[in-house]
Structure 1
Amino acid sequence: MTPHTDATSGHPLQPYWNLALASVQADALRVALELKLFRLLAEPMPAGSVAERLRLHPDNTEHLLEILWSMRLLDRQEAATPAQGWRYQASWLASRYLDHESKQHCGDAWSLRLQALRHFGQHLDEQLRTGEASTAPRLAGTAANWQAAARLQIAQEQRAATAEAALAVFSQLPEFPRAQRLLDLGGGPGLVAIALAKANPNLRGEVFDLPETISVAEENIHAAGLGGRLRGRSGDLIRDPIGEGYDLIWCSSVLHFVPDIDQALGKIHAALRPGGVLVCVQAEIPDSQDAARQMLSYYLSMRMLGRQLTHAGGLRQAMQRAGFSALQTQHEVPFPVTPVTAVIGRRSLQ
């Protein structure tokens, strides 16, 4: 039976037409970031003045500002006279996250995500036929590119979202205020460890990641004045020691990259002291179609590279197998690109 369409419900194809429209919105944001438009519009300004300042076509500039307004990236107000049209200003969201002078600027990270996703999409048919991945040169997994990502993309996302999410999870744990030793496993630029150390003045610990990334973490640690409490430890989770006797371990989006989740979790369990806590944050495939769509869209490229993405409940089950107890699960933890699941587990005192 054909679904009935009326004037209020819209056409069944509308969600798929929206996919094509989203591409235009993404390019509108990309151009706005390239023009540093949100810094220029820190104060209200008419479209004509924007065009004059940036040497753009006046009418087309107004059209761009209108679509950015529709995306809630700009606010607008009436000018002094109707002939002047609207005056546009960066919204609070754009000012906080997309103004290149903001401390929480995430525009470069967003642009790199867009580049990577579009490159993957353009080569999807080829990858289906051959099974071979095609990675944009700037995004290939070389040592130099990992270091660059830690310094720019990952750092921006940790400042804008990850560190705040970690603080929200740890602040609910009764163990956090009295914890003394932390391991930020796969911590990249180390900004999560820095945020946790600032929140708990008794906390000392290590950021563990690949050698090319740890140099960035150590730069950030010293810039934060925490060189006496935090340090970097370089290595590979599977092959190298990660230390022991930790009160807290933060493990974020690491298990996608290991060949054996059970082996990795067993090693993490052994690194905790009795009574220690692991907060493991990973994307999982939800049971709901609508919830799964966003997750699978982002992780399709990684899954085609052989990375692991568990289904809902899979991470909790793996932690149980590794010996973690008193498990707690938090769904929809806000994270870069797509919400994730946090599973909290403890090493028993026995």
Structure 2
Amino acid sequence: MPFTTSHPLQPYWNLAVAPVQADGLAAALELGIFEVLATPHTPAQLADILSLHAPHTALLLELLWSMQVLERDAAEAHADTQAQRYRCTATTLQYFCRDSVAFCGDAWLYRLHALRHFATQLSTLVREGGKAAPSPYNTANGVNWAAAAQQQIGQEQRAVTMRAALSVMQRVAPFAACNTPLRLLDLGGGPGWVAIALAQAHAGLHGCVFDWPETVAVAAANIAHAQLSERLETLGGDLDSDDIGSDYDLIWCSSVLHFVPDVPAALRKMHAALKPGGVLVCVQAEIATAPEDAARVLPYYLPMRMLGRAVTRQGELAQLLRAAGWRQVEQYSASDFPMAPVQVLIAYT
């Protein structure tokens, strides 16, 4: 039946019920339900395969169906819940089945648990100040980033960021000319999948993935597996204090500036690393001026902001780029990157 009216409290009731939906999806991932439902099964069949409680399994599957995570045959819509057959939607098969190359289930669970860990401390942080108890948000070091590169960042880069990066780079004239020799720096590149995608798409591209030493070991293994070791190398270090190389035609920098202590200094360092006429592509979330747009960014980045990390307001990063020496800065919004919408800035020396 259509619902044509809502109470002013409805958005807040939706907030109250959202954890049930999130935990329903988490339970399905953790129990391995989606792998079985790659083909249709009744709740009883699924429960038998995974040794689950059949009546409660039926109720969970109906919840997931209502969230459009699962689908069921239209002809069975009014049948007994235990007799209905459920199967994964195309999106679920692509992103939440572990045997898919685009599997993002671990990445999604990481985001869920990290944000929830922070949210439970929010009242105390606002009342008393200080920093949150240890969590993935405040342990930025080489070992932890290497683990992230192996799992959640790696999954998101393969499933989402690689394609989004290729779309962005088609706007960059030197990259769009596919036969032009180019030297790339993938700054803070983590597992290296973006550099790999760009090298596969541009035969003349050679480059370097820069990140913590432990993290670039993950990138080096991925580069070798992609048979690109002759064109892509790695460089381990700390952006704040170590050399990042020089004479680059392109620098790709995605969601890195949140983690540097001095953003203007980092931007000057990138400018110095580019050849004359070189291009920086910076992908970064910024806080929009309209509340409905800001609401898509602020919940994800509140932990970082309460840790004192840089989350600029929309337009601020472009001003910092110009102050660091870039002569031309183009900016547009994009929603095809992981998590919140981002600002894409293309800056020319």
TM-score of Structure 1 vs Structure 2, range by shorter chain: over 0.9
Give, in whole Å, the separation in 2 of the partners of 1:260 and 1:280: 16
The AA in structure 2 aligned to 1:85 is A
Q: Alpha carbons of 1:196 and 1:116: their partners in 2 closer, same or farther (altered >3 Å)?
A: same
Q: 1:271-350 alignment to 2 at 5 Å?
A: 271-347=273-349
Report what 1:3 is aligned to: none
SS in 2 for 1:156: helix
Instruction: Give the share of equivalent positions with the same residue, in percent.
Output: 51
Query: CA offsets, 1:43-86, max 9 Å, x none?
Result: 11112211221222222111111111111111111459956732
SS in 2 for 1:207: strand
Query: Is the aligned partner of 1:22 residue 2:24?
Result: no
For structure 2, the residue ranges without an aligned partner over 5 or more in a row are: none
Asked if the contact 1:119/1:135 (under 8 Å) is kept, the reply is: no
SS in 2 for 1:287: coil
Query: CA offsets, 1:196-228, max 9 Å, x none?
Result: 000001110000001111111111111110111
SS in 2 for 1:262: helix
Please state how far the C-alpha of 1:20 moved relative to its aligned partner: 1.2
Report what 1:174 is aligned to: 173
Give, in whole Å, the separation in 2 of the partners of 1:252 and 1:72: 31
How many residues of Structure 1 are paired with residues of Structure 2 in the alignment? Answer: 341
Report what 2:155 is aligned to: 156
SS in 2 for 1:175: helix
Give, in whole Å, the separation in 2 of the partners of 1:173 and 1:141: 31
Normalising by structure 2, report the TM-score. 0.93
Report what 2:104 is aligned to: 106
Q: 1:4-19 alignment to 2 at 5 Å?
A: 8-19=4-15
2:45 to 43, 49, 72: 49
Please state how far the C-alpha of 1:13 moved relative to its aligned partner: 1.1
Asked if the contact 1:189/1:214 (under 8 Å) is kept, the reply is: yes
Give, in whole Å, the separation in 1 of the partners of 2:161 and 2:136: 26
Give, in whole Å, the separation in 2 of the partners of 1:139 and 1:315: 23
Please state how far the C-alpha of 1:126 moved relative to its aligned partner: 2.3
Query: Is the aligned partner of 1:257 residue 2:256?
Result: no
SS in 1 for 2:281: strand
Q: 1:76-155 alignment to 2 at 5 Å?
A: 76-77=72-73, 78=75, 82=79, 85-128=83-126, 129-136=128-135, 140-155=139-154
For structure 1, the residue ranges without an aligned partner over 5 or more in a row are: 1-6
SS in 1 for 2:134: coil
Give, in whole Å, the separation in 1 of the partners of 2:131 and 2:183: 42
Give, in whole Å, the separation in 1 of the partners of 2:95 and 2:131: 35
Asked if the contact 2:137/2:304 (under 8 Å) is kept, the reply is: no
Report what 1:224 is aligned to: 226
Query: Which moves more between the two structures, 313-322 or 71-80?
Result: 71-80
Please state how far the C-alpha of 1:137 moved relative to its aligned partner: 7.3
Q: Alpha carbons of 1:80 and 1:332: their partners in 2 closer, same or farther (altered >3 Å)?
A: closer
Asked if the contact 1:165/1:333 (under 8 Å) is kept, the reply is: no
Asked if the contact 1:179/1:247 (under 8 Å) is kept, the reply is: no
1:39 to 35, 39, 44: 35
Query: CA offsets, 1:229-250, max 9 Å, x none?
Result: 0011011112111111111110
The AA in structure 2 aligned to 1:131 is G
Asked if the contact 2:114/2:137 (under 8 Å) is kept, the reply is: no
- Which contiguous aligned blocks of 4+ residues in structure 1 show a shift greater than 6 angstroms? none
SS in 2 for 1:126: helix
SS in 2 for 1:44: coil
The AA in structure 2 aligned to 1:54 is L
Query: CA offsets, 1:277-315, max 9 Å, x none?
Result: 110010000111011112110100001111001101111
RMSD in angstroms over aligned alpha carbons?
1.8
Give, in whole Å, the separation in 1 of the partners of 2:136 and 2:198: 34
Asked if the contact 2:321/2:347 (under 8 Å) is kept, the reply is: yes
Q: Alpha carbons of 1:344 and 1:137: their partners in 2 closer, same or farther (altered >3 Å)?
A: closer
SS in 2 for 1:100: coil
Q: 1:204-219 alignment to 2 at 5 Å?
A: 204-219=206-221
